[in-house]
Amino acid sequence: MDVYGRLPSQSLRGHRYFLSITDDYSRKVIVYPMKNKSEVFDCFTKFQKRAERYLNSKIINIRTDRGMEFCHNEFQKFLDNQGSRAERTNEYTPEQNGVGERLNCTALDAVECLLKDSGLGNGFWAEALLCFTYMWNRICHQSHNKTPFELYCGRKPSIRHLKPLGATAYIGTPRQLCTKLQMRAKKGVMVGYAMQTKGYRIWLPAERKIIETINVTFDNGFNTGKALDPNDSKFYISTESNSDLESEILITGEILEDVKVKSEFSSDPNTEGFDPDSKSNLLKRITWSRQVVPRKDGSRTDIYYRIEGTNTRFRSHNDVKMYCELNGIEYNEGMFNFSGKDPYSGDVKYNEENSNTNI
């Protein structure tokens, strides 16, 4: 068990430190972002209650350094009452707590890589940290042939749902909340995995909040995180929520103000030098491809449209129209033919003469 900090950038909720706890047998990692080192005792007691209830076993030993956050009287009395033994390092010998020290260095390196790759700002370091530990517990390490999650929980974890941090996400709006003129999806950014529900944690820039949902579709061809950086933005935290043993923390209801969000096409070097008000120029830079896929039973033929460089499939005019509106692209209905009678498969070129429907 070890504390890392003080970090130079605050998280969305004002955290500057984090407490990492590593199970000695399974090497499962649990982290708690903290605003101050004084929160260590509360985080540990929270972990202790959940871990002992889940495993039906008592904590025997804990190993820490000699930081005052671990050595004060309240902490020691609590351990004595619980019958737990505290193993502390000698002075100026952090290598005796090598597991915790090495983990913190690895976690920080991973956070830097995740933020760099996703394009998210340093203010998302807590999100990246939780995402790292989520994946860390689901990969095998040198000492075992099983993942920490499997050794700790007794079952194999699924990795089919893993997505890159910062991926563009489209959240479906329930029919009960969607009016006739309202879009059926909202554009957001994947910033982690839902821990108290099944799904993902998505940041909605337009609404300036983070939600948990499973009703989401990802566009792996685009990364929206490059336009999102809360370092220069003001924000509120509207609700507090308890941390979870598997998630270490849950952040919900964060409302951010004055977040500047750029169009994902504005940073594309292929569009530099064009008039931003000219949507036809932007559309010419996008290559649509038409795919004709006959069904095996011969009952019908499915028609799909794709954008070059992405894996997203569009199955109807409504899907294409929604995507164009979300990304500021001119929508020309005459370009798209979803009739199975047309056997053509290949690239579809933009024709200005047929541009009769503009959004």
Per-residue burial over 215-241, b if 16 or more Cβ lie within 10 Å, else e, is ebebbeebbbbbbbbbeebebeeeeee
Burial class (CB in 10 A: 0-12, 13-18, 19+), 179: exposed
The DSSP annotation for 280-310 comes to: HHHHHT--EEEEEEE-TTSS-EEEEEEETT-
Cα 247 from Cα 113, distance rounded (Å): 21
Is the pLDDT higher at 129 or at 272? 129
- Do 115 and 122 form a contact (C-beta atoms < 8 A)? yes
Whether pLDDT at 283 is above 70: no
Tokens of 182: 């309202």
pLDDT at 236: 37
pLDDT at 105: 94
Cα 136 from Cα 279, distance rounded (Å): 44
- Do 67 and 75 form a contact (C-beta atoms < 8 A)? no
Average pLDDT value for residue range 163-182: 86
pLDDT band for position 280 (50/70/90)? very low
Q: Is the peptide bond before 6 cis (omega within 30 degrees of 0)?
A: yes
Is the pLDDT higher at 195 or at 277? 195
Q: Please tell me the least confidently modeled range out of 179-183, 194-198, 228-232, 255-259.
A: 255-259
Per residue in 113-154, pLDDT (tens digit) is: 999 998 888 889 999 999 999 999 999 887 678 999 999 999
Per residue in 230-269, pLDDT (tens digit) is: 444 444 333 333 343 344 333 333 333 333 333 333 334 4
pLDDT band for position 92 (50/70/90)? confident
Instruction: Catalogue all structural domains in the chain, each as residue range(s) with its CATH number.
Output: 1-153 (3.30.420.10), 158-176+183-228+248-257 (no CATH), 283-347 (no CATH)
Average pLDDT value for residue range 158-164: 90
pLDDT at 179: 80
Per residue in 287-318, pLDDT (tens digit) is: 888 888 888 887 888 888 888 777 778 888 88
pLDDT at 304: 85
Whether pLDDT at 19 is above 60: yes
- Do 239 and 255 form a contact (C-beta atoms < 8 A)? no
- Closest by CA to 222, choosing from 264, 259, 283, 186, is 264
Which helix (H) or strand (E) is 129 found in, with range? helix 125-136
Whether pLDDT at 37 is above 70: yes
Average pLDDT value for residue range 88-97: 90
- Do 345 and 292 form a contact (C-beta atoms < 8 A)? yes
Average pLDDT value for residue range 103-110: 94
Cα 282 from Cα 278, distance rounded (Å): 7
pLDDT band for position 177 (50/70/90)? confident
Percent of the chain with pLDDT over 70: 78
